[in-house]
Structure 1
Amino acid sequence: MKKLNRRHFLMSTGAAVTATGLGAPSILRAQADTIKIGGLHDLSGPLDASGIPMDQVFKLAIDDINEKGGLLGKQVEGVVYDPQSNMSLYSQYATQMALKDRVAAVFGGITSASRETIRPIFHRYNTLYFYNTLYEGGVCDRNEITLGTTPAQTVEQLIPHAMNLWGKKVYTIAADYNYGHITAAWVKRYVEANGGEVVETEFFPLDVTQFGSTISKIQAAKPDIVLSVLVGTAHLGFYRQWVASGMKQEIPIASTTFAAGGTDAVILTPEEGNGILTSYGYYTSIDNPTNTAFKEKVAAAYPDNPPILSELSEVTWEGVMVWADAVREAGTIERDPLLEVMETGKSYDMPAGAVSIDPKTHHAIRDVYLAELQDQEFIIKETFPQVQPADTQMVCNLKETPDANVHHEISL
């Protein structure tokens, strides 16, 4: 598994641009001894708790393909970089992957900021890109396959369920970047559509760790529900301080992000985490043979440091497997034939359930689940089969505009 640093990038990218020009000719990709694919996940920095499991599963997927004979008579090679949650490094490494490494596809990015840093680069150089993270919806780009869930798939299920359980007054706390702002707007829309009221929305930078003043505001507002759209390890401070304040028994929490990367559920104690309600496209407690085999494979590959499995890591597995299936069927690693295979709407049997690619948006149509955390395990309460990415379908139709290259901030 190839892992390169920033110094190597700075020494090599200029030569790559000079030698190959801007187009990164696809025939050079085809002449390689191995088929290279890129992994671009945060292995250090504030989001490494999510990025490391994604990277582990990315590597496991490559090993699984190679153990079964590889693709097109070749082994698959992973080219891995650590962007450290730094947007400059994301941009640099994305360019390196496209121009020098000439990877056949890239799997990576966690935040929407990182995605919007690298997505236009891969679009420009026709490097097929898989984004495997839940997000706020709205990307319209034929070069990107988006397998993570969107608000119309999860938040639309979470809000009415929580309101039916607990009441109609909601206090939203959210991360202060585009995912947090846009998702908070979706929360408001779904709360009001179900006859409720968002009494306050507060936003927090990713490095904020102290929430005492906010907890006081929530106490004064007396909502029925706290709706968390917080992101990252620093924001776990809220849940701990919520318990310490004595408020956990008075006002329950639902979240669009808690344990999305998996680690939150085991970092917090049962006292701190029990009762938090979430909705995602994958939980380890999904009961089907494919998920059982997947969990066994992960445990066998990482006996000493098993990754915490979550939507982010499982969907990373999906991305590599969908790409590999398209390579087998198309008989090539060239982008357009692979996209044509995926655009047929074929269904893939994944640990999360049946998954297909919506040809209009290149987003996943997938099963979605509601689950409550109890003793560091999510207990599935409800299943919603084959939910469409309806939010992105409002603004994107790649059949009509195949050259689209935009992230719509959907007007609510």
Structure 2
Amino acid sequence: MDITRRRILKGSTLAAAAVAAPHLWLPTSREAWGATLKKGEPIKVGLLFSLTGQLAVPEEDSTLVMQYAIEEINKNGGIAGHEIKPIIIDAKSDFNVYSEKAKELILREKVIALFGCYTSASRKAILPIVMQQNNLLYYPTCYEGAECTQNTICTGPLANQHSKDLIPFMVKNFGKKCFFVGSNYVWPKESNKNAKLWLQNAGGELLGEEYIPLGSSEFGPVLNKIRDAKPNFIFSTVVGASDIAFHKQFKQEGFKVDSMPIASLTTGEIETKAMGADVGAGHFLSAPYFQTLENATNATFVENFLKSKYGKNGSTHYNMEETYLSAYVFKYGLEKALKKTGNIEEVTSRMIRDVSGGIRVEDDVSPEGLIWIDGDNFNTWLKPKIGQCQPDGSFKTVYQAAEHVAPDPYSIYPNSGKCTADGLVAPDGKARKNVI
């Protein structure tokens, strides 16, 4: 495992602490290590999301939509006649729990893959065990990139697939002066490094940059700084319950959305529902999916999901849809691996990952339209979109890329090299595996 200097600088000490936590479960000498698939038995996968705590707002829906997708797949014959069996864990918005439960899922439950996490801090907490055991993580949300592992498949957008479009859009439509606000962990900080470059390229000006502890609901001091700075718009990478508090206090403090809108990478339909449509109205989100997308597949997805027992929260949103897609990427990857081996008992987690490059989820399955997995970095080709929140809490698409955009995890770090299927290849030709 190549743990690079950047990983330390990016603030993953929380992840390291989680891995080293003394209460982590370890297998006894009688218990087998690693994932297994058996003929005639269900295919076990782990769902590792937070159902409680400050990350539950987006992550509960990820758990619900994964159950919906698995049920949908099972009703249509499963995978080669095998049902998928989800092992559901509440990570409780605690990085120690993510790490501990990832170990249990892989070593004791013997899941063939994990689906989970919403923050990069939680992802980095579980990656060491995923890589050590050569298991497979499907990470179904946006993230900062600057990572190249051989055990992950990501179905959300990278920075070059959302903020690269969002920042110049805001500059063009609202003005050059911008203020950054984010939660205090690796994803917002690294995302803002990308956003600074896009802002500079658009001729914009950064007036301030503030970070709030993850889970915090106190934005008074930050809003005072924003009031003094008088930006044309705010670029937000605030997540979870904090995101809801930020928007509410923005409105309570008398800020006007028409003269100073918030442009976000995370504030979708579920967050808007939690804060109130009147609070979210007028603000912007960059994402590959909105519930209002007009196509037959999305109409069917929205209708069937919301009337199912899993649609209890009353909306679909980008993070749910990316999670839904990950279930089908897994299905197609396992089917492809089975064609290669002819025997389900010979299929491994790593084999599924290695054959997943180029897998497509077509228009008739994907609510956002065709997507496919990059064969080098195992992120997703997709069409970036920008939506504006409407008075009813829905999002109106105000921009869509004309073509699919390739995922580029090192878009602002070209000297780091190229992420390939076998590792990060530096300009001098040297390759390193599992760079996080």
In structure 2, relative to structure 1, the CA distance for the partners of 1:117 and 1:32 (3 Å cut) is farther
Contact between 1:226 and 1:251, CA under 8 Å: does it hold in 2?
A: no
* 2:237/2:264 contact within 8 Å kept: yes
Which of 91, 108, 122 is residue 114 of structure 1 equivalent to? 122
**Paired position in structure 1 for 2:153:** 145
Alpha-carbon distance between aligned partners in 1 of 2:108 and 2:142, rounded to the nearest angstrom = 29
Deviation at 1:271, TM superposition (A): 3.1
- Post-superposition offset of 1:319: 0.6
> Structure 1: any 5+ residue segments left out of the alignment?
1-9, 408-412
**357-366 or 203-212: which moved more?**
203-212
> Partner residue of 1:274?
281
Give 1:353 deviation, angstroms.
Answer: 1.3
Alignment counterpart, residue 133 of structure 2, candidates 125, 133, 140: 125
Q: 1:130 to 1:298 in 2, by over 3 A?
A: same
What is the CA deviation profile of residues 2-35 of structure 1, one whole-angstrom value per residue up to 9, with x for unaligned ones?
xxxxxxxx99954x342246x52x5x43357211
Helix, strand or coil for the counterpart of 1:46? Answer: coil
**C-alpha spacing 1:20/1:156, structure 2 compared with 1 (3 Å):** same
SS in structure 2 opposite 1:227?
strand
Kindly report which structure 2 residues correspond to 1:282-361, keeping only aligned pairs within 5 A, or say none.
282-302=289-309, 305-306=312-313, 308-331=315-338, 332=344, 333-346=347-360, 348-349=362-363, 350-361=366-377
Offset at residue 342 of structure 1 (A): 1.4
Residue equivalent to 1:406: 435
Pick closer, same or farther for the CA change 1:347–1:165 going to 2, 3 Å: same
Whole-angstrom CA distance in 2 between matches of 1:364 and 1:371 = 20
2:67 equivalent in structure 1: 59
Letter in 2 for 1:404: K
The runs of 5 or more residues in structure 2 that have no matched partner are: 1-21, 339-343, 425-431
Q: Answer yes or no: is 1:377 the counterpart of 2:408.
A: no
Give me the whole-angstrom Cα distance separating, in 2, the residues matched to 1:278 and 1:20: 47
Give the Cα–Cα distance (whole angstroms) in 1 for the partners of residues 396 and 258 of structure 2: 22
Aligned counterparts of 1:106 and 1:168: Cα–Cα separation in 2: 42
Superposed structure 1 runs of 4+ greater than 6 Å apart: none
Report whether the alignment pairs 1:105 with 2:113: yes
Q: Percent identity?
A: 25
Is the contact between residue 259 and residue 310 of structure 1 (CA under 8 Å) also seen in structure 2? Answer: no
Is the CA contact 2:235–2:262 (under 8 Å) kept in the aligned structure 1?
Answer: yes
- 1:154-193 to 2 correspondences below 5 Å: 154-193=162-201
Q: Which amino acid in structure 1 is aligned with residue 423 of structure 2?
A: T
SS at match of 2:209: strand
Question: What is the rounded CA distance, in whole Å, between the counterparts of 1:202 and 1:12 in structure 2?
Answer: 34
Contact preservation (8 Å) 1:13, 1:99: no
Q: Which amino acid aligns with 1:372?
A: Q
Distance in 2, matches of 1:191 and 1:324, equals 39
Of residues 143-152 and 293-302 in structure 1, the stretch that sits farther from structure 2 once superposed is 293-302
The answer on whether the counterparts of 1:228 and 1:253 sit within 8 Å (CA) in structure 2 is: no
CA contact (8 A) 1:322 1:348 kept: no
3-state SS of paired residue (2:420): coil
State the one-letter code of the partner of 1:159. Answer: I
Q: Deviations over 1:120-159 (max 9, x none)?
A: 2111112111000111112211210011111110000101
Indicate the SS of the match to 1:405: coil
Taking the aligned partners of 1:107 and 1:141, their CA distance within structure 2 comes to 16
State the 1:109 CA deviation. Answer: 0.9
Q: Is the 1:52–1:307 contact (alpha carbons within 8 Å) kept by the matching residues of 2? A: no
Q: Structure 1 residues 346 and 317 mapped into 2: Cα distance closer, same or farther (>3 Å)?
A: closer
Check conservation: 1:162, 1:254, Cα contact below 8 A.
no
Question: Structure 2-normalised TM-score?
Answer: 0.85
CA distance in 2, matches of 1:211, 1:345: 43
> What is the match of residue 428 of structure 2?
none
In 2: Cα distance, 1:180 partner to 1:197 partner: 18
Q: Contact (CA 8 Å) 1:141, 1:398: kept in 2 or not?
A: no
Verify the 8 A CA contact 1:223 1:251 in the aligned structure 2. no
Letter in 2 for 1:293: T
**Residues 371-396 of structure 1, C-alpha deviation per residue, up to 9 Å, x if partnerless?**
10011010001111311122436444
Residues 327 and 249 (structure 1), Cα distance of their counterparts in 2 relative to 1, 3 Å cut: closer
Tell which deviates more after alignment, 207-216 or 166-175. 207-216
Is the Cα contact below 8 Å between 1:158 and 1:279 reproduced in 2?
A: yes
The letter for the 2-side match of 1:356 is W
Deviates more, 1:264-273 or 1:378-387: 264-273
Give me the CA root mean square deviation.
Answer: 2.2
SS in 1 for 2:179: strand
Contact 1:38/1:79 (8 A) holds in 2:
yes
**CA 1:300 to 1:238, structure 2 compared with 1: closer, same or farther past 3 Å?**
closer
Structure-2 change in CA distance of 1:118 and 1:31 (3 Å): farther
- Measured at CA, do residues 11 and 199 of structure 1 come closer, stay the same or move farther in structure 2, by a change above 3 Å? closer
Whole-angstrom CA distance in 2 between matches of 1:108 and 1:213:
33
1:194–1:391 Cα change, 3 Å:
farther
Amino acid paired to 1:19: R
